[in-house]
Chains A and B, each alone.
Chain A
Amino acid sequence: MTTMSGAHPPSVPTSAKVRTPGASTGNEIELVGVEKRFEITEGSVHAVARTDLAVGQREFIVLLGPSGCGKTTILRMMSGLLQPSAGMVKVGGRDLWRGAQRDQVALQNLGIVFQEANLFPWLSIEKNIALPLKLRRVDKAQRLAKAHELCKLVGITGFEKRWPRELSGGMRQRAAIARALSYDPQILLMDEPFGALDAMTRDQMNLEIQRIWMSSGCTIVFVTHSIPEAVFLADRIILLSPRPGRIHSITEISFEQPRDMAIQTSPEFQDIVRSLRRELEAMG
Protein backbone atom coordinates (compact mmCIF):
# COMPACT_ATOMS: atom_id res chain seq x y z
CA MET A 1 0.00 0.00 0.00
CA THR A 2 1.63 3.25 -1.12
CA THR A 3 0.61 6.74 -0.21
CA MET A 4 0.91 10.17 -1.70
CA SER A 5 4.48 10.96 -0.75
CA GLY A 6 5.56 14.28 0.67
CA ALA A 7 2.39 16.08 -0.30
CA HIS A 8 1.55 16.70 3.32
CA PRO A 9 3.89 16.80 6.26
CA PRO A 10 3.28 13.64 8.28
CA SER A 11 1.35 14.26 11.45
CA VAL A 12 3.85 14.37 14.26
CA PRO A 13 4.16 11.07 16.08
CA THR A 14 4.25 11.79 19.77
CA SER A 15 4.47 9.60 22.76
CA ALA A 16 1.74 11.62 24.43
CA LYS A 17 -1.46 10.18 23.07
CA VAL A 18 -4.75 11.98 23.26
CA ARG A 19 -6.60 8.74 23.83
CA THR A 20 -4.85 6.43 26.19
CA PRO A 21 -5.77 2.82 25.64
CA GLY A 22 -7.74 1.19 28.41
CA ALA A 23 -7.56 4.31 30.53
CA SER A 24 -11.27 4.57 31.23
CA THR A 25 -13.42 2.33 33.39
CA GLY A 26 -12.55 -1.31 32.98
CA ASN A 27 -12.50 -3.56 29.94
CA GLU A 28 -15.00 -3.78 27.16
CA ILE A 29 -14.08 -7.31 26.05
CA GLU A 30 -12.22 -9.95 27.97
CA LEU A 31 -11.07 -13.34 26.80
CA VAL A 32 -10.19 -15.51 29.77
CA GLY A 33 -8.48 -18.79 28.91
CA VAL A 34 -10.45 -18.96 25.71
CA GLU A 35 -9.81 -21.93 23.46
CA LYS A 36 -11.47 -23.31 20.32
CA ARG A 37 -11.44 -26.76 18.82
CA PHE A 38 -13.59 -27.64 15.83
CA GLU A 39 -14.96 -31.16 15.86
CA ILE A 40 -14.71 -32.61 12.39
CA THR A 41 -15.18 -36.15 11.12
CA GLU A 42 -11.44 -36.97 11.38
CA GLY A 43 -11.01 -35.78 14.96
CA SER A 44 -10.69 -32.12 15.82
CA VAL A 45 -8.95 -28.96 14.61
CA HIS A 46 -7.26 -26.93 17.30
CA ALA A 47 -7.95 -23.46 15.92
CA VAL A 48 -7.22 -21.22 18.89
CA ALA A 49 -5.01 -22.14 21.86
CA ARG A 50 -5.73 -20.83 25.38
CA THR A 51 -5.82 -17.08 24.97
CA ASP A 52 -6.16 -14.22 27.44
CA LEU A 53 -6.86 -10.75 26.14
CA ALA A 54 -8.42 -7.61 27.53
CA VAL A 55 -9.74 -4.89 25.24
CA GLY A 56 -10.14 -1.52 26.94
CA GLN A 57 -12.98 0.90 26.48
CA ARG A 58 -12.64 3.10 23.37
CA GLU A 59 -9.61 1.12 22.32
CA PHE A 60 -8.84 0.27 18.68
CA ILE A 61 -7.44 -3.26 18.63
CA VAL A 62 -6.19 -4.87 15.44
CA LEU A 63 -5.80 -8.63 15.11
CA LEU A 64 -3.03 -9.37 12.63
CA GLY A 65 -1.72 -12.70 11.51
CA PRO A 66 -1.20 -15.12 8.63
CA SER A 67 -4.12 -16.80 6.93
CA GLY A 68 -5.71 -19.56 8.99
CA CYS A 69 -4.25 -18.43 12.31
CA GLY A 70 -7.66 -18.03 13.92
CA LYS A 71 -8.45 -14.32 13.56
CA THR A 72 -11.97 -14.91 12.34
CA THR A 73 -12.48 -17.59 14.97
CA ILE A 74 -11.48 -15.19 17.75
CA LEU A 75 -13.71 -12.47 16.37
CA ARG A 76 -16.66 -14.85 16.07
CA MET A 77 -16.14 -15.91 19.65
CA MET A 78 -16.16 -12.27 20.73
CA SER A 79 -19.37 -11.71 18.79
CA GLY A 80 -21.25 -14.68 20.19
CA LEU A 81 -21.51 -16.37 16.78
CA LEU A 82 -19.24 -19.14 18.03
CA GLN A 83 -19.03 -20.66 21.47
CA PRO A 84 -15.53 -21.29 22.83
CA SER A 85 -14.61 -24.89 23.68
CA ALA A 86 -13.14 -23.65 26.94
CA GLY A 87 -12.74 -20.39 28.79
CA MET A 88 -14.88 -17.32 29.15
CA VAL A 89 -15.80 -14.37 26.95
CA LYS A 90 -16.87 -11.22 28.78
CA VAL A 91 -18.51 -8.28 27.05
CA GLY A 92 -19.03 -5.09 29.05
CA GLY A 93 -18.23 -7.07 32.17
CA ARG A 94 -20.95 -9.67 31.53
CA ASP A 95 -20.44 -13.32 30.63
CA LEU A 96 -21.42 -13.68 26.99
CA TRP A 97 -22.46 -17.31 27.40
CA ARG A 98 -24.64 -18.88 30.02
CA GLY A 99 -24.62 -22.53 29.07
CA ALA A 100 -25.71 -22.57 25.44
CA GLN A 101 -27.62 -19.30 25.88
CA ARG A 102 -26.14 -15.93 24.98
CA ASP A 103 -26.51 -12.95 27.26
CA GLN A 104 -29.05 -10.57 25.67
CA VAL A 105 -27.60 -7.42 27.22
CA ALA A 106 -24.06 -8.25 26.16
CA LEU A 107 -25.26 -8.86 22.59
CA GLN A 108 -26.96 -5.46 22.46
CA ASN A 109 -23.54 -3.87 22.78
CA LEU A 110 -21.99 -5.70 19.84
CA GLY A 111 -22.00 -4.68 16.20
CA ILE A 112 -20.34 -6.73 13.47
CA VAL A 113 -19.06 -5.97 9.99
CA PHE A 114 -18.14 -9.03 7.98
CA GLN A 115 -15.70 -9.45 5.12
CA GLU A 116 -18.64 -9.51 2.73
CA ALA A 117 -21.22 -6.77 3.10
CA ASN A 118 -23.95 -9.43 3.58
CA LEU A 119 -26.72 -7.00 2.71
CA PHE A 120 -30.10 -8.59 1.99
CA PRO A 121 -30.66 -8.22 -1.77
CA TRP A 122 -34.44 -7.86 -1.35
CA LEU A 123 -34.18 -4.84 0.92
CA SER A 124 -33.34 -1.34 -0.23
CA ILE A 125 -30.18 0.18 1.22
CA GLU A 126 -32.11 2.20 3.80
CA LYS A 127 -34.07 -0.86 4.89
CA ASN A 128 -30.89 -2.90 5.16
CA ILE A 129 -29.36 -0.25 7.37
CA ALA A 130 -32.52 0.01 9.46
CA LEU A 131 -32.89 -3.76 9.87
CA PRO A 132 -31.34 -3.99 13.36
CA LEU A 133 -33.66 -1.20 14.51
CA LYS A 134 -36.65 -2.98 13.01
CA LEU A 135 -35.74 -6.09 15.00
CA ARG A 136 -35.58 -3.82 18.04
CA ARG A 137 -39.11 -2.59 17.26
CA VAL A 138 -38.11 1.01 16.65
CA ASP A 139 -40.93 2.63 14.68
CA LYS A 140 -40.57 3.06 10.96
CA ALA A 141 -40.19 6.83 10.63
CA GLN A 142 -37.60 6.90 13.36
CA ARG A 143 -35.52 4.05 12.01
CA LEU A 144 -35.52 5.39 8.46
CA ALA A 145 -34.48 8.80 9.75
CA LYS A 146 -31.57 7.09 11.49
CA ALA A 147 -30.72 5.19 8.30
CA HIS A 148 -30.59 8.42 6.30
CA GLU A 149 -28.39 10.03 8.92
CA LEU A 150 -26.04 7.05 8.71
CA CYS A 151 -25.98 7.14 4.91
CA LYS A 152 -24.65 10.64 5.25
CA LEU A 153 -22.10 9.57 7.84
CA VAL A 154 -20.67 6.79 5.67
CA GLY A 155 -21.01 8.79 2.44
CA ILE A 156 -23.71 7.00 0.45
CA THR A 157 -26.36 9.70 0.46
CA GLY A 158 -28.60 9.45 -2.60
CA PHE A 159 -28.52 5.65 -2.64
CA GLU A 160 -31.05 5.09 0.16
CA LYS A 161 -33.73 3.64 -2.10
CA ARG A 162 -31.48 1.50 -4.31
CA TRP A 163 -31.05 -2.25 -4.26
CA PRO A 164 -27.71 -3.42 -2.86
CA ARG A 165 -26.73 -4.90 -6.22
CA GLU A 166 -26.89 -1.49 -7.79
CA LEU A 167 -24.03 -0.28 -5.56
CA SER A 168 -20.29 -0.81 -5.91
CA GLY A 169 -18.45 -3.11 -3.51
CA GLY A 170 -17.09 -0.20 -1.51
CA MET A 171 -20.49 1.41 -1.20
CA ARG A 172 -22.03 -1.85 -0.08
CA GLN A 173 -19.37 -2.20 2.59
CA ARG A 174 -20.19 1.35 3.74
CA ALA A 175 -23.84 0.36 3.99
CA ALA A 176 -22.84 -2.69 6.04
CA ILE A 177 -20.91 -0.42 8.40
CA ALA A 178 -23.93 1.87 8.65
CA ARG A 179 -26.09 -1.14 9.50
CA ALA A 180 -23.71 -2.15 12.28
CA LEU A 181 -23.71 1.42 13.61
CA SER A 182 -27.50 1.81 13.46
CA TYR A 183 -28.11 0.78 17.06
CA ASP A 184 -25.04 2.59 18.44
CA PRO A 185 -23.20 -0.49 19.67
CA GLN A 186 -20.40 0.22 22.11
CA ILE A 187 -18.25 -2.40 20.44
CA LEU A 188 -17.63 -2.82 16.73
CA LEU A 189 -16.10 -6.06 15.49
CA MET A 190 -14.78 -5.93 11.95
CA ASP A 191 -13.46 -8.97 10.04
CA GLU A 192 -11.32 -7.79 7.12
CA PRO A 193 -14.08 -5.39 6.15
CA PHE A 194 -12.04 -3.82 3.35
CA GLY A 195 -10.31 -6.96 2.10
CA ALA A 196 -12.14 -6.86 -1.22
CA LEU A 197 -11.52 -3.18 -1.96
CA ASP A 198 -8.83 -1.55 -4.09
CA ALA A 199 -5.98 0.26 -2.32
CA MET A 200 -7.38 3.76 -2.89
CA THR A 201 -10.86 2.99 -1.62
CA ARG A 202 -9.34 1.08 1.24
CA ASP A 203 -7.27 4.09 2.38
CA GLN A 204 -10.36 6.22 2.20
CA MET A 205 -12.40 3.72 4.20
CA ASN A 206 -9.67 3.52 6.83
CA LEU A 207 -9.78 7.27 7.28
CA GLU A 208 -13.52 7.09 7.65
CA ILE A 209 -13.49 4.25 10.11
CA GLN A 210 -11.00 6.22 12.19
CA ARG A 211 -13.28 9.25 12.08
CA ILE A 212 -16.34 7.19 13.03
CA TRP A 213 -14.41 5.54 15.85
CA MET A 214 -13.26 8.86 17.25
CA SER A 215 -16.61 10.59 16.97
CA SER A 216 -18.72 7.70 18.29
CA GLY A 217 -16.37 6.72 21.09
CA CYS A 218 -16.87 3.02 20.47
CA THR A 219 -14.41 0.18 20.94
CA ILE A 220 -13.20 -1.54 17.80
CA VAL A 221 -11.65 -4.94 17.19
CA PHE A 222 -10.46 -5.06 13.61
CA VAL A 223 -9.06 -8.05 11.72
CA THR A 224 -6.69 -7.58 8.81
CA HIS A 225 -3.91 -9.15 6.75
CA SER A 226 -2.39 -5.80 5.92
CA ILE A 227 0.42 -4.59 8.16
CA PRO A 228 0.25 -0.90 7.09
CA GLU A 229 -3.50 -0.92 7.63
CA ALA A 230 -2.97 -2.35 11.11
CA VAL A 231 -0.33 0.21 12.04
CA PHE A 232 -2.38 3.05 10.63
CA LEU A 233 -5.50 2.22 12.64
CA ALA A 234 -4.45 0.52 15.84
CA ASP A 235 -3.91 1.51 19.42
CA ARG A 236 -2.58 -2.00 19.90
CA ILE A 237 -1.76 -4.66 17.35
CA ILE A 238 -2.22 -8.24 18.49
CA LEU A 239 0.01 -10.40 16.34
CA LEU A 240 -1.20 -14.00 16.20
CA SER A 241 0.88 -17.04 15.37
CA PRO A 242 -0.65 -19.94 13.52
CA ARG A 243 -1.78 -23.45 14.36
CA PRO A 244 -3.12 -23.33 16.89
CA GLY A 245 -3.66 -19.57 16.99
CA ARG A 246 -2.15 -17.81 19.98
CA ILE A 247 -0.99 -14.31 20.81
CA HIS A 248 2.56 -13.95 19.55
CA SER A 249 3.20 -10.32 20.48
CA ILE A 250 1.42 -7.08 21.26
CA THR A 251 2.60 -3.80 19.75
CA GLU A 252 1.42 -0.44 21.03
CA ILE A 253 1.13 2.22 18.36
CA SER A 254 1.40 5.67 19.84
CA PHE A 255 0.95 8.04 16.91
CA GLU A 256 -1.46 10.78 17.78
CA GLN A 257 -5.00 10.35 16.50
CA PRO A 258 -6.56 11.22 14.19
CA ARG A 259 -3.88 10.10 11.79
CA ASP A 260 -3.75 10.96 8.12
CA MET A 261 -2.44 8.92 5.22
CA ALA A 262 0.79 10.90 5.05
CA ILE A 263 1.87 9.32 8.31
CA GLN A 264 2.59 6.15 6.38
CA THR A 265 5.64 7.76 4.82
CA SER A 266 7.20 8.64 8.17
CA PRO A 267 10.29 6.64 9.20
CA GLU A 268 8.73 5.69 12.54
CA PHE A 269 5.71 4.23 10.79
CA GLN A 270 7.87 2.30 8.38
CA ASP A 271 10.06 1.00 11.19
CA ILE A 272 7.03 -0.50 12.90
CA VAL A 273 5.79 -2.00 9.65
CA ARG A 274 9.21 -3.49 8.98
CA SER A 275 9.60 -5.03 12.40
CA LEU A 276 6.09 -6.53 12.27
CA ARG A 277 6.85 -7.95 8.85
CA ARG A 278 10.02 -9.54 10.20
CA GLU A 279 8.07 -11.08 13.05
CA LEU A 280 5.47 -12.44 10.65
CA GLU A 281 8.15 -13.88 8.37
CA ALA A 282 9.97 -15.47 11.28
CA MET A 283 6.79 -17.37 12.12
CA GLY A 284 6.90 -18.93 8.65
Chain B
Amino acid sequence: MKHFVRRHLAWFTTPGLVIVFGIVWHLYIVIFDVSGFILPKPLDVVVSYFELLGDSRLWEATGVTVFETLVGFFFAAVIGIGGGAILGKVAWLEETARPFVIATQVVPKVALISLFVLWFGFGSFPKVLIATILAFFPILTNTLLGVKSVDLGHKDVMTSLNAGRWETFKTLEFPSALPAIIAGLEVGIVLAYIGAIVGEFLAGQAGLGFLTIDYQNAFDVSGLFGVIVQLTLVGFIMYLAIVGLRRILIPWHESVIVEKLRQPVG
Protein backbone atom coordinates (compact mmCIF):
# COMPACT_ATOMS: atom_id res chain seq x y z
CA MET B 1 0.00 0.00 0.00
CA LYS B 2 2.78 2.36 0.98
CA HIS B 3 4.56 1.72 -2.31
CA PHE B 4 1.35 2.15 -4.23
CA VAL B 5 0.92 5.60 -2.69
CA ARG B 6 4.59 6.43 -3.29
CA ARG B 7 4.40 5.48 -6.95
CA HIS B 8 1.15 7.25 -7.68
CA LEU B 9 1.93 10.20 -5.46
CA ALA B 10 1.06 12.82 -8.06
CA TRP B 11 -2.47 11.43 -8.37
CA PHE B 12 -3.09 12.33 -4.75
CA THR B 13 -1.06 15.49 -4.32
CA THR B 14 -2.19 17.26 -7.48
CA PRO B 15 -5.96 17.28 -6.77
CA GLY B 16 -5.22 17.93 -3.09
CA LEU B 17 -3.11 20.99 -3.81
CA VAL B 18 -5.60 22.26 -6.38
CA ILE B 19 -8.36 22.07 -3.75
CA VAL B 20 -6.20 23.83 -1.16
CA PHE B 21 -5.40 26.53 -3.70
CA GLY B 22 -9.13 26.89 -4.44
CA ILE B 23 -9.97 27.24 -0.76
CA VAL B 24 -7.32 29.91 -0.18
CA TRP B 25 -8.54 31.73 -3.27
CA HIS B 26 -12.15 31.58 -2.06
CA LEU B 27 -11.25 32.79 1.45
CA TYR B 28 -9.26 35.68 -0.04
CA ILE B 29 -12.28 36.84 -2.00
CA VAL B 30 -14.62 36.49 0.97
CA ILE B 31 -12.31 38.13 3.51
CA PHE B 32 -11.21 41.07 1.36
CA ASP B 33 -14.54 41.36 -0.40
CA VAL B 34 -13.04 41.29 -3.91
CA SER B 35 -15.34 42.17 -6.77
CA GLY B 36 -16.35 39.32 -9.09
CA PHE B 37 -15.36 41.52 -12.04
CA ILE B 38 -11.76 41.42 -10.92
CA LEU B 39 -11.50 37.92 -9.51
CA PRO B 40 -14.36 35.41 -9.65
CA LYS B 41 -14.85 32.75 -6.98
CA PRO B 42 -13.20 29.43 -7.81
CA LEU B 43 -16.55 27.66 -7.95
CA ASP B 44 -17.79 30.27 -10.46
CA VAL B 45 -14.75 29.50 -12.58
CA VAL B 46 -15.52 25.79 -12.43
CA VAL B 47 -19.14 26.44 -13.37
CA SER B 48 -18.23 28.74 -16.23
CA TYR B 49 -15.60 26.26 -17.43
CA PHE B 50 -18.22 23.51 -17.61
CA GLU B 51 -20.57 25.89 -19.42
CA LEU B 52 -17.75 26.68 -21.78
CA LEU B 53 -17.23 23.00 -22.46
CA GLY B 54 -20.65 22.91 -24.09
CA ASP B 55 -19.75 25.85 -26.29
CA SER B 56 -18.61 24.86 -29.79
CA ARG B 57 -16.52 28.05 -29.95
CA LEU B 58 -14.18 26.63 -27.29
CA TRP B 59 -13.60 23.41 -29.22
CA GLU B 60 -13.06 25.20 -32.51
CA ALA B 61 -10.52 27.46 -30.79
CA THR B 62 -8.85 24.49 -29.11
CA GLY B 63 -8.64 22.70 -32.44
CA VAL B 64 -7.00 25.70 -34.10
CA THR B 65 -4.45 26.18 -31.33
CA VAL B 66 -3.57 22.50 -31.07
CA PHE B 67 -3.21 22.32 -34.84
CA GLU B 68 -0.88 25.32 -34.96
CA THR B 69 1.13 24.03 -32.03
CA LEU B 70 1.58 20.53 -33.43
CA VAL B 71 2.43 21.68 -36.95
CA GLY B 72 4.89 24.21 -35.55
CA PHE B 73 6.32 21.58 -33.24
CA PHE B 74 6.65 19.11 -36.08
CA PHE B 75 8.71 21.53 -38.17
CA ALA B 76 10.72 22.48 -35.10
CA ALA B 77 11.49 18.82 -34.46
CA VAL B 78 12.52 18.22 -38.06
CA ILE B 79 14.71 21.33 -38.18
CA GLY B 80 16.02 20.86 -34.65
CA ILE B 81 16.93 17.19 -34.92
CA GLY B 82 18.12 17.35 -38.52
CA GLY B 83 20.02 20.61 -38.07
CA GLY B 84 21.45 19.58 -34.70
CA ALA B 85 22.68 16.28 -36.10
CA ILE B 86 24.32 17.93 -39.10
CA LEU B 87 25.90 20.75 -37.07
CA GLY B 88 27.08 18.18 -34.53
CA LYS B 89 28.89 16.25 -37.23
CA VAL B 90 30.33 19.11 -39.27
CA ALA B 91 32.41 21.41 -37.10
CA TRP B 92 32.88 24.27 -39.60
CA LEU B 93 29.12 24.40 -40.27
CA GLU B 94 28.46 24.71 -36.55
CA GLU B 95 30.86 27.65 -36.30
CA THR B 96 29.27 29.29 -39.33
CA ALA B 97 25.66 28.75 -38.30
CA ARG B 98 25.96 29.58 -34.61
CA PRO B 99 25.47 33.39 -34.79
CA PHE B 100 22.39 32.98 -36.98
CA VAL B 101 20.83 30.35 -34.76
CA ILE B 102 21.37 32.58 -31.74
CA ALA B 103 19.99 35.57 -33.65
CA THR B 104 16.67 33.77 -34.12
CA GLN B 105 16.45 33.49 -30.34
CA VAL B 106 17.49 36.96 -29.21
CA VAL B 107 15.32 38.88 -31.67
CA PRO B 108 12.09 39.94 -29.92
CA LYS B 109 9.38 37.59 -31.17
CA VAL B 110 6.75 40.30 -30.94
CA ALA B 111 8.52 42.25 -33.65
CA LEU B 112 8.62 39.13 -35.78
CA ILE B 113 4.89 38.61 -35.40
CA SER B 114 4.16 42.07 -36.79
CA LEU B 115 6.40 41.27 -39.70
CA PHE B 116 4.80 37.89 -40.33
CA VAL B 117 1.34 39.43 -40.24
CA LEU B 118 2.45 41.90 -42.88
CA TRP B 119 3.80 39.10 -45.01
CA PHE B 120 1.37 36.28 -44.42
CA GLY B 121 -1.82 37.86 -43.06
CA PHE B 122 -3.88 36.86 -40.04
CA GLY B 123 -4.25 33.13 -40.73
CA SER B 124 -2.64 30.17 -39.04
CA PHE B 125 0.62 30.24 -40.94
CA PRO B 126 2.38 33.06 -39.04
CA LYS B 127 1.46 31.35 -35.72
CA VAL B 128 2.92 28.09 -36.92
CA LEU B 129 6.02 29.99 -37.90
CA ILE B 130 6.36 31.59 -34.46
CA ALA B 131 5.80 28.22 -32.80
CA THR B 132 8.53 26.70 -34.95
CA ILE B 133 11.00 29.49 -34.31
CA LEU B 134 10.48 29.28 -30.56
CA ALA B 135 10.55 25.49 -30.33
CA PHE B 136 13.39 24.47 -32.63
CA PHE B 137 16.14 26.04 -30.56
CA PRO B 138 16.14 23.77 -27.50
CA ILE B 139 15.66 20.76 -29.76
CA LEU B 140 18.59 21.78 -31.91
CA THR B 141 20.97 22.57 -29.06
CA ASN B 142 20.08 19.34 -27.25
CA THR B 143 20.54 17.25 -30.39
CA LEU B 144 23.84 18.97 -31.07
CA LEU B 145 25.08 18.32 -27.56
CA GLY B 146 23.82 14.74 -27.64
CA VAL B 147 25.50 13.90 -30.93
CA LYS B 148 28.76 15.46 -29.76
CA SER B 149 28.92 13.77 -26.37
CA VAL B 150 29.09 10.20 -27.58
CA ASP B 151 31.14 7.96 -25.30
CA LEU B 152 34.71 7.57 -26.63
CA GLY B 153 34.78 3.88 -25.77
CA HIS B 154 31.65 3.35 -27.86
CA LYS B 155 33.28 5.25 -30.69
CA ASP B 156 36.30 2.96 -30.50
CA VAL B 157 33.98 -0.02 -30.89
CA MET B 158 32.51 1.39 -34.10
CA THR B 159 35.93 2.41 -35.43
CA SER B 160 37.40 -1.01 -34.71
CA LEU B 161 34.48 -2.57 -36.57
CA ASN B 162 35.28 -0.33 -39.49
CA ALA B 163 31.79 1.19 -39.55
CA GLY B 164 31.06 3.96 -42.03
CA ARG B 165 29.86 7.47 -41.16
CA TRP B 166 26.19 6.77 -41.76
CA GLU B 167 26.27 3.44 -39.94
CA THR B 168 28.00 5.07 -36.99
CA PHE B 169 25.35 7.77 -36.92
CA LYS B 170 22.52 5.27 -37.14
CA THR B 171 23.79 2.72 -34.65
CA LEU B 172 25.69 4.92 -32.23
CA GLU B 173 25.35 8.67 -32.41
CA PHE B 174 21.60 8.95 -32.88
CA PRO B 175 20.50 6.42 -30.24
CA SER B 176 23.05 7.80 -27.81
CA ALA B 177 21.70 11.33 -28.40
CA LEU B 178 18.03 10.30 -28.05
CA PRO B 179 17.66 11.03 -24.31
CA ALA B 180 18.99 14.56 -24.90
CA ILE B 181 16.77 14.95 -27.97
CA ILE B 182 13.69 13.95 -26.00
CA ALA B 183 14.59 16.43 -23.26
CA GLY B 184 14.72 19.05 -26.04
CA LEU B 185 11.34 17.93 -27.37
CA GLU B 186 9.80 18.28 -23.92
CA VAL B 187 10.86 21.92 -23.74
CA GLY B 188 10.04 22.38 -27.43
CA ILE B 189 6.38 21.35 -27.19
CA VAL B 190 5.80 23.88 -24.41
CA LEU B 191 7.49 26.66 -26.37
CA ALA B 192 5.58 25.79 -29.54
CA TYR B 193 2.34 26.06 -27.56
CA ILE B 194 3.35 29.41 -26.11
CA GLY B 195 4.37 30.59 -29.58
CA ALA B 196 1.02 29.68 -31.11
CA ILE B 197 -0.95 31.32 -28.30
CA VAL B 198 1.09 34.52 -28.30
CA GLY B 199 0.67 34.67 -32.07
CA GLU B 200 -3.10 34.38 -31.74
CA PHE B 201 -3.06 36.87 -28.94
CA LEU B 202 -1.34 39.55 -30.97
CA ALA B 203 -2.75 38.92 -34.42
CA GLY B 204 -5.41 36.24 -34.26
CA GLN B 205 -8.78 35.55 -35.75
CA ALA B 206 -9.15 32.16 -34.12
CA GLY B 207 -7.68 29.93 -31.44
CA LEU B 208 -7.55 29.96 -27.66
CA GLY B 209 -5.26 33.00 -27.58
CA PHE B 210 -7.79 34.92 -29.64
CA LEU B 211 -10.66 33.70 -27.43
CA THR B 212 -9.01 35.19 -24.32
CA ILE B 213 -8.87 38.55 -26.08
CA ASP B 214 -12.52 38.15 -27.01
CA TYR B 215 -13.55 37.53 -23.40
CA GLN B 216 -11.33 40.33 -22.20
CA ASN B 217 -13.12 42.77 -24.54
CA ALA B 218 -16.46 41.50 -23.24
CA PHE B 219 -15.31 41.93 -19.60
CA ASP B 220 -16.29 38.30 -19.04
CA VAL B 221 -13.81 37.47 -16.29
CA SER B 222 -15.31 34.06 -15.52
CA GLY B 223 -15.19 33.12 -19.20
CA LEU B 224 -11.61 34.33 -19.32
CA PHE B 225 -10.73 32.08 -16.44
CA GLY B 226 -12.52 29.21 -18.14
CA VAL B 227 -10.32 29.66 -21.22
CA ILE B 228 -7.24 29.79 -19.00
CA VAL B 229 -8.26 26.46 -17.42
CA GLN B 230 -8.69 24.99 -20.89
CA LEU B 231 -5.29 26.37 -21.97
CA THR B 232 -3.65 24.77 -18.97
CA LEU B 233 -5.27 21.37 -19.44
CA VAL B 234 -4.53 21.23 -23.17
CA GLY B 235 -0.91 22.23 -22.57
CA PHE B 236 -0.61 19.55 -19.91
CA ILE B 237 -1.91 16.84 -22.21
CA MET B 238 0.46 17.75 -25.04
CA TYR B 239 3.42 17.87 -22.67
CA LEU B 240 2.56 14.52 -21.11
CA ALA B 241 2.27 12.98 -24.57
CA ILE B 242 5.86 13.98 -25.28
CA VAL B 243 7.03 12.79 -21.87
CA GLY B 244 5.37 9.47 -22.66
CA LEU B 245 7.74 9.12 -25.62
CA ARG B 246 10.47 8.36 -23.11
CA ARG B 247 9.04 4.98 -22.23
CA ILE B 248 8.59 4.10 -25.88
CA LEU B 249 11.79 5.45 -27.41
CA ILE B 250 14.36 5.03 -24.63
CA PRO B 251 13.18 2.20 -22.37
CA TRP B 252 16.85 1.45 -21.64
CA HIS B 253 17.62 4.88 -20.21
CA GLU B 254 18.24 5.61 -16.53
CA SER B 255 15.35 8.07 -16.41
CA VAL B 256 12.96 5.26 -17.35
CA ILE B 257 14.63 2.35 -15.58
CA VAL B 258 14.76 4.17 -12.25
CA GLU B 259 11.01 4.60 -12.48
CA LYS B 260 10.59 0.94 -13.27
CA LEU B 261 12.80 -0.12 -10.38
CA ARG B 262 10.53 1.67 -7.95
CA GLN B 263 7.67 -0.57 -8.98
CA PRO B 264 8.32 -4.12 -7.83
CA VAL B 265 9.63 -3.35 -4.33
CA GLY B 266 7.59 -4.88 -1.50
State which size class the interface on A falls in: 20 to 34
- The A interface, classified by DSSP as helix, strand, loop or mixed, is mixed
Which A residues are CB-close (under 8 A) to B250?
122
Asked if A114 meets B156 with Cβ closer than 8 Å, knowing A120-B172, A132-B161, the reply is: yes
B153, B159, B162: which has the most chain A beta carbons within 10 Å? B162
B154, B159, B167, B253: the one contacting A120 at CB < 8 Å is B154
State which size class the interface on B falls in: 20 to 34
**Interface pair A135/B161, CB less than 8 Å apart:** yes
In the complex, the chain A residue whose C-beta lies closest to that of B159 is: A81
Looking at the complex, which of A62-70, A102-110, A204-212, A214-222 is the stretch in contact with chain B?
A102-110
Interface string of B166-180 (1 = CB under 8 A from A): 010001100110100
Q: B169: shortest Cβ distance to chain A, in Å?
A: 13
Q: B199: shortest Cβ distance to chain A, in Å?
A: 37
**Interface pair B156/A118, CB less than 8 Å apart:** yes
Q: A111: shortest Cβ distance to chain B, in Å?
A: 8
Task: Tell me the complex Cα distance, A114–B152, Å.
Answer: 12
Which B residues are CB-close (under 8 A) to A165?
252, 257
In the assembled complex, B160 has its CB within 8 A of some CB on chain A: yes
In the assembled complex, B163 has its CB within 8 A of some CB on chain A: yes
Which A residues are CB-close (under 8 A) to B160?
79-81, 107, 110, 112
In the assembled complex, A34 has its CB within 8 A of some CB on chain B: no
In the assembled complex, B157 has its CB within 8 A of some CB on chain A: yes
**Interface pair B163/A122, CB less than 8 Å apart:** no
**Interface pair A121/B159, CB less than 8 Å apart:** no
Task: Tell me the complex Cα distance, A144–B159, Å.
Answer: 22
In the assembled complex, A192 has its CB within 8 A of some CB on chain B: no
Q: 25 pairs across A/B with beta carbons < 8 Å? A: A79-B160, A80-B159, A80-B160, A81-B156, A102-B162, A107-B160, A114-B153, A114-B156, A114-B157, A118-B151, A118-B153, A118-B154, A118-B156, A118-B157, A120-B154, A120-B157, A120-B172, A121-B253, A122-B253, A131-B157, A132-B161, A135-B161, A135-B162, A163-B257, A165-B257
Ranked nearest first, the 10 interchain pairs of A and B with the lowest CB-CB distance are A118-B153, A122-B175, A112-B160, A122-B252, A107-B162, A163-B252, A118-B157, A132-B161, A121-B252, A116-B153
The residues of A with any CB-CB pair to B shorter than 8 Å are 79-81, 102, 104, 107-108, 110, 112, 114, 116, 118, 120-122, 131-132, 134-135, 163, 165
The residues of B with any CB-CB pair to A shorter than 8 Å are 151, 153-154, 156-157, 159-163, 167, 171-172, 175-176, 178, 250, 252-253, 257
